[in-house]
Amino acid sequence: MDPVVSFPGDGERFERDNRTLTIRIDLPGLSVVEIEFDDTFSVDPHTHDDHVDSFYVLEGEVEFTVGDETLRAGPGTLLAAPAGARHGFRCTGGTARVLNFHAPDAGFADSIRSFTPG
């Protein structure tokens, strides 16, 4: 297998009501998704049994739930939630943009592709 390069503007882009998801890298061992979202989008605290879920804040301010705590994070912040670790996130105002890493992918990229609004 050859290395994968994702240049600015590359990827599969999916527009949703309050977020845009761009699959930048999709490999069995790793998916990288760029998520742009506003303050109406949030991901409730949850855990994963089968992968590490990590976030790198590119723009804006993101409020992360980490275990039972809440912390605010700006650009340059990196958070990694190992399998079993409780985590969630939301934008604190305006818009935010993060890179979201799933290692291994565990079906995340395909779930974005197959999502149909209900």
**How many contiguous H segments (helices) and E segments (strands) does the chain have?**
1, 10
Q: Give the pLDDT confidence of 53-101 residue by residue, as tens digits.
A: 999 999 999 999 999 999 999 999 999 999 999 999 999 989 999 999 9
117 pLDDT exceeds 70? Answer: no
Alpha helices in the chain (DSSP H): 108-114
Residue among 53, 57, 51, 54 at smallest CA distance from 37: 57
Q: What is the pTM of this model?
A: 0.93
All domains in the chain, ordered by first residue: 21-114 (2.60.120.10)
The model's confidence at residue 110, banded by pLDDT at 50, 70 and 90, is: very high
Which pairs from 114-118 meet CB under 8 Å and 24+ separation? 115/14, 115/16, 117/16, 117/17
76 Rama sector, left if φ>0, alpha if ψ -120 to 50, beta otherwise:
left
pLDDT of residue 115: 84
Residue 71 neighbours by CB under 8 Å, 6+ apart: 63, 64
pLDDT of residue 105: 94
